[in-house]
Chains A and B, each alone.
Chain A
């Protein structure tokens, strides 16, 4: 009897699974605002990493991106068009992301653009997106993504270039006569290693830095003491890296145990959410600096009212510390929306597809992403959007924007790469 019951249970489970897959309707995120029936529906796909190593920072992405799409519909941003937002969790795993990407392609209508938020996944999708003719607006970057130019468009500045901008800024603040000692302290992932290139290291060295080491920490670190001890022995003055605040918090706590807080400065790429970091480690975050792609949330009311409205409507169930990441993600969707608008103006709403949006992206010049960041410019040969960054630092447990910095061109063959 027990065997039959267990067997029946498992059989029902299997049947339920198969039936659910077969009958599952196309899932949507936030419902679009009511629009007249004659509007053309254009889909924007999204691959947020809601589980896995990136989950802590990207947990707000559906709210931010879905909210941006809903706001665009509400404001009739693209007349005659209703934007539809579809999301699937990419799980910080390229293999799962590929399945998620294929599920997005099965949406009706087919997405005209897909937003992604991971260097590894963007690298993995580059060839596939080109074959499927779907442009991807990407939040992660590596030389592999940018060169040769393909169908992946990175919205910010390449990480090697951000490292160069940080080095320029740090050197301008350096008061001592000796060369500052520089080391990499970064995630052992494509995202973490992407800024370490021959060009960026040559540039940093040419600016008078002494390179004293490279330390890599795992995606979910529990103890970074070995790496920090080596840096302590090297008497490092400044570290640069790419990781999320959840990992950096572990580093700073370990550095505090070793008495290293105040002996070196940590700088990072844009994706390090300083507000989130302060939430984790409080005063230990003081001095941490990032080359940010966005203005601070405190500036939204004045400079980015649409982003403020998006946060007011959709940020209620999110932690305040996620505001920074909220704007990061929404900026990418806004670029996608802007490209769709250009495509609609050029070919008409009914003819907008991946190719039309791709054409719009490569012709995008000085596009304003709703005031949240520097203007976005792509071209036939350029697949990154921003040429300036905001230097943002934690002071007295608050994120302060110190100013903007020019981003040197440190891609292979770039004009700022030092001659050998």
Chain B
């Protein structure tokens, strides 16, 4: 739907495929990036930066999942397992092999991508619900291998990861990690946004919409599905490597199966099939979890008649209620609602 005022014409293909079409949009984007990359890290507290860091890592993994599930239509319930592969690869490379983080991260991402490709092979024969179960099995297999990895993975006791370093400068504070994580988030978001507008993006959308008709358009369905799995797992690997470095220590309990379900939840809330929607979904639910974390002690102080355990349990209801509200009132997610609001604002005060 059009959000541009009438009278704006594109005169070249480059203008037509640009992300920011008007001067106003370009200015807003530049201001946003200045705020994100300069103002926030300079003036925010460690706690606020830690929230941004967690959101950044989650956005990377969620965008990867969106490419596979939102664009290619392949339900993936093993995203937490792929993140674990990236995290443990990074920890093993930096801890056991004393590799630099800057080398360990891309290597971990590539290896995770290849692991994702392995679990994509069944997609040649199965689809829909069955590929979802395959990815569920992927999570279980990965976690079993990690838990029984002996001294290589540290087993249930986990593995430490060395922090990134440039010369003598070691990245240790929230602010240091902010630049790495948010920088990578911006880069990978830009890459994903462009990827889905290429031939590859159109092909996987065609596979999602009708994988029986897609081959008749000359699309090698299997090849595109496997590539989508690779990209999804690659993004998960980056997120995992960042997680291992940021937390300094990882154990198998960082990657429960429930997290894979929550990643699907980010897509539902934000809007599957939209890169920006993914960001909306992650930010919304992560802020909600912060609200729940703040709300528990506050509610306990306001209503001491309830035990803290009861209050904390009540707060967890919030997540379920929010998901249900979105499924009923806005199944297409926050991104769709945002589109409608922008269109309404464009023609306000007229209703149409």
Contact = CB atoms under 8 A, between A and B. Distances in A.
Interface string A12-28: 00100110110011011
Interface string B295-336: 111101100111111101101100000000000011000100
A152 to B, nearest CB: 11
B248 interface: yes
Nearest to A66: B308
Given A62-B308, A124-B247, A144-B157, A29 B300 contact: yes
Contact of B157 (A4, A9, A142): A142
Contacts of B330: 6, 10
A59 B309 contact: yes
B119 to A, nearest CB: 23
Contact of B312 (A14, A51, A60, A142): A51
Contact of A24 (B284, B289, B298, B300): B298
A94 B313 contact: no
Contacts of B288: 17
Interface stretch (A97-105, A200-208, A386-394): A97-105
B301 A27 contact: yes
A89 B296 contact: yes
A93 B313 contact: no
A86 interface: yes
A143 interface: yes
Given A17-B284, A144-B158, A190 B251 contact: yes
Given A27-B297, A28-B297, A190-B156, A10 B329 contact: yes
Nearest to B159: A144
A317 B307 CA distance: 7
A93 B253 contact: yes
B75 interface: no
Contacts of A18: 287
B291 A17 contact: yes
A297 to B, nearest CB: 18
Interface residues of A, number: 63
Q: How large is the interface on B (under 10, 10 to 19, 20 to 34, 35 or more residues)?
A: 35 or more
Nearest to A6: B329
B231 interface: no
Interface stretch (A126-134, A247-255, A268-276, A287-295): A126-134
A21 B256 CA distance: 27
Given A3-B340, A6-B337, A127-B248, A106 B158 contact: no
A51 B337 contact: no
A55 B309 contact: yes
B171 to A, nearest CB: 11
Interface string A314-344: 0001100000000000000000000000000
B308 A27 contact: no
B86 to A, nearest CB: 15
B307 A318 contact: yes
Interface in A35-56: 48, 50-51, 55
Contacts of A100: 293
A193 interface: yes
A196 B45 CA distance: 42
Nearest to B307: A317
B296 A102 contact: no
Interface stretch (B46-54, B182-190, B197-205): B46-54
A143 B334 contact: no
Nearest to A23: B294
B41 interface: no
B209 to A, nearest CB: 25
Contact of A89 (B293, B334, B337, B341): B293
A189 B251 CA distance: 10
A137 interface: no
A123 interface: yes
B160 interface: yes
B290 to A, nearest CB: 6
Contact of A88 (B160, B172, B293): B293
Contacts of B106: none
Contacts of B312: 50-51, 55, 89
A10 B341 CA distance: 11
A190 B158 contact: yes
Contact of B251 (A10, A50, A123): A123
Contacts of B297: 27-29, 86-88
B96 to A, nearest CB: 16
Given A6-B330, A24-B294, A120-B253, A60 B157 contact: no
B47 A106 contact: yes
Contacts of A55: 309, 312-313
Contacts of B247: 94-95, 98, 124, 128
A226 interface: no
B224 interface: no
A18 B287 CA distance: 7
Nearest to B54: A99
A62 B307 contact: yes
Contact of B160 (A51, A127, A143, A190): A127
A25 B297 CA distance: 11
A190 B253 contact: yes
Contacts of A48: 308
Of the listed residues B50, B156, B293, B301, the one surrounded by the most CB atoms of chain A closer than 10 A to its CB is: B156
B155 interface: yes
B254 A10 contact: no
Contacts of B251: 94, 120, 123-124, 190
Given A17-B287, A60-B307, A63-B307, A124 B158 contact: yes
Contacts of B22: none
A11 interface: yes
Contacts of A87: 297, 308
A145 B68 CA distance: 39
Contacts of A109: none
Contacts of B344: 4, 7
B249 interface: yes
B287 A103 contact: no
A7 B341 contact: yes
B157 A88 contact: no
Contacts of B294: 20-21, 24, 27, 103
A62 B45 contact: no
A31 interface: yes
A48 B311 CA distance: 13
11 contacts: A4-B344, A7-B341, A10-B329, A10-B330, A59-B310, A62-B307, A87-B297, A95-B259, A127-B248, A190-B253, A194-B157
Interface of B: 45-47, 50-51, 54, 147, 154-158, 160, 172, 174, 247-251, 253-254, 256, 259, 284, 287-291, 293-298, 300-301, 304-310, 312-313, 315-316, 329-330, 334, 337, 340-341, 344
Given A100-B293, A103-B290, 10 more contacts: A4-B344, A6-B337, A7-B340, A18-B287, A102-B174, A123-B251, A124-B251, A128-B247, A190-B156, A190-B157
